[in-house]
Structure 1
C-alpha cells in the first residue's frame, strides 16, 4: 500500500509500505478515507523527528471497515468508523483503576506502530468507534481532536453560565470555543496574535476576540468581563509565554486547564504564579482523550453532537489534499508559507 513514512526531521516520503493484516480475532481492518494532521505532527515534523525512523504516522482518521476478525461484534464490513488512537497496557496501576489516560505505558498509533497516513490500518475492536451515516468522512476525522477538548472540559466541571477564555485559536482552541458554547458558557473570549485565526474564532462562537500582541492579556480580559477574570481558562496555544500568562486570566477560585504542550521551558512571573495561591485556583493538566469505559464518554458525546449538528467542524478544515502531496503540505506547515487550519489527507485521491 501507499503511505507517508517519516524518517527524520523534515524528511517524510510517500512510498510503499507493507499493508497491515488482521492477526487477532478482535482486529478490525479499515480503509482510510480521511486523515488529519495534528498539531503534534507539525511539531514532530519540524522540530523533534520520529520515534521510529520509517514509521507510518497519523492518528486522526476515519474510514470504512473492510475486514474483521472472527470475534468482532461491534462493527461489520462496510461500516463507517473512526478509532481512538490510544493504546493502553491494561496492567499498570492506572489501568487497573481505569484511568487509561495515565497509563504508564500509554502509546499512540503513529508513534511506535503504523498509523493512519496510509491506505489501510488495523485497529483493536475496542478502539473502533462507529460513525452514523449523517457524518461525512472528513468530519469524522475530527472526532479525535474534539475528544481531546471534551476530555479536558470534563475535568473542569464546566456548567451553563460559566465564562471561558480560550488562549490560542488553532484547531484545539477553536474546538474549545465551540464546546464551551455547547456546554452552555454565557461568554467566550478568544485570545491569539493572528487576526485570521481570531476571525475564525468569531465564526465558531467566540463572543469577544482579542489580538494580544504587545498587550497584557489579563487586562484585556478584564476589559470585556466587567473588571474580572473568567471562570475557566483554556490554554491551547502551547507556548511558554501563554502557558505562564494563563494563570493571570482566571477569577478568584477559577480554573485553569492546560491542553497545549509548550516545547520550551515555561518561566512564570511571580505575579502570575502567585495567583494560584492567592486566588485559590484549580489547575488541571489534560492528556489524551480517553476514559472509562474505554474509549470513553468523550467519544460518544462528540459523535452525537456531530450527528445533531451542534458541533460544526467544517469551518476548521482549510485544506483537503491527496496523501501523495504529504511532503509538500508538511513543508507548508514547517515554513508557514500560507495560513492553514486543519489539513485533511485523502489516501485514495
Structure 2
C-alpha cells in the first residue's frame, strides 16, 4: 500500500509499504480522508517531538475492513473516526484522569504509523463510530474539533461572554463556532487574511479585525474598541509569539487566556508577570483532546458545525509530501488527503 513517510527530519516521501495486520484489540481501517495539520509541518521540521521513520497523519476517518479477535462493539464496514492519542492508563497522570498528560503517550501519526496511507491500525479504544451517511471528509475534522472542545471547556465560556479568537486557521474557525455554541454573544476573530475574516463572519463571528491594519489591542480592547477594557476570554489559536503576547493584553482584568496554538518547541515569548498578577489573569495551556473525541464526533454528525466551507482542497497521497513541505497557501484553511484519489 501507499504511505506518506517521514523518514527523518526534513525528509518526507511516498513509499510502498506492507499493509498492516491488526493485533487482537485492533481495527484495520481503510482510510477515506486525513487532514493536513500544522503539527505535520512542525514534525517535518523537527519542531515537535516525533519518532521517525513513520507514516504521518493524525486527523483521519475510514472504514473498518478487518478486526482482531478481541474486538467487540464494531462491525466490518462501519465508519470510524480515530482519536490518535493513546494513553497508557497506568501512570500517575492517567490514574488522576489527566490522560492527555500521560507519561507514556503515543500518538498515531506522531509516535506510530498514521493516516496518510491506504490503511491505518486503530486500537479499538481509540475508535468512535460515525454514520455511514456522513460525508467521510467530515469525519477527518473530529480530531481537530476535539482539541478545540478541550480548549473551550478550559475557558469556561458562559452565556453572554465576550471572546476573542486569535488566528484564522482551521483551529480558530472551529473555535469561533464552539464559542458561539457555548453561549458567547461577542466573538471577534483576529487574522491578517481577509478571506478568513469574511469566512469567520459567515460562520459565527460577530466581528473581525485585521491586525496588520493597526494596533489590534486598541481596535479590540481600547477605549474606542469593540470591547473597551478587554474581553472575558481570549483563545490563542495561531501558534505564533506575536499572538501569544497580544492575548494577555486583550483579556480584561480577571479574564482568561487559553493557548491552543502550537509554537515550535523551544520558542520563547516575552510576558510581564506583574500584569498577570495585578490583573489576576488565568493563563492556561490546552493540550490535545482528553475525553472530547466522542463529543466532537457527535457534533460533526449533528451538522451543528460548518465544515464544508473550511475545506480548501482535496489532494492525493502522491501530492501530500509537497503540500506538507510548503507553508500553507494564502487563504487556505484545511487540505484533506484522500487515499486512492488520482
- Aligned position for 2:235: 234
- Aligned position for 1:142: 141
1:57-96 matches, cutoff 5 A = 57-96=56-95
Contact 1:160 1:186 in 2 (8 A): yes
- Aligned position for 2:309: 315
Distance 1:135 1:183 in 2: 24
- Aligned position for 1:168: 167
- Aligned position for 2:267: 265
Could you say if the C-alpha distance between residues 151 and 226 of structure 1 is closer, same or farther in structure 2, counting changes exceeding 3 Å? closer
User: What secondary structure does 1:113 align onto?
Assistant: coil
Structure 1 runs of 4+ aligned residues shifted over 6 Å read: none
Distance 1:224 1:186 in 2: 16
Distance 1:67 1:77 in 2: 6
- Aligned position for 2:30: 31
- Aligned position for 2:181: 182
Shift of 1:214: 5.7
Distance 1:249 1:208 in 2: 15
Distance 1:144 1:265 in 2: 25
Could you say if the C-alpha distance between residues 255 and 8 of structure 1 is closer, same or farther in structure 2, counting changes exceeding 3 Å? same
Distance 1:154 1:344 in 2: 27
Could you say if the C-alpha distance between residues 268 and 338 of structure 1 is closer, same or farther in structure 2, counting changes exceeding 3 Å? closer
Unaligned runs of at least 5 residues, structure 2: none
Distance 2:321 2:294 in 1: 34
Distance 2:12 2:336 in 1: 16
Unaligned runs of at least 5 residues, structure 1: 291-295
Distance 1:71 1:269 in 2: 51
1:1-349 matches, cutoff 5 A = 1-24=1-24, 26-46=25-45, 48=47, 51-213=50-212, 215-222=214-221, 223-263=224-264, 265-270=267-272, 273-290=273-290, 296=291, 298-331=292-325, 333-334=326-327, 336=328, 338-349=330-341
Shift of 1:215: 2.9
Could you say if the C-alpha distance between residues 102 and 9 of structure 1 is closer, same or farther in structure 2, counting changes exceeding 3 Å? closer
Partner deviation per Cα, 1:90-125 (whole Å, 9 max, x = no partner): 221011122101111212112221111111111111
Count the aligned residue pairs.
Answer: 338
Distance 1:196 1:10 in 2: 31
Partner deviation per Cα, 1:172-209 (whole Å, 9 max, x = no partner): 01111011111111010111122222222222211111
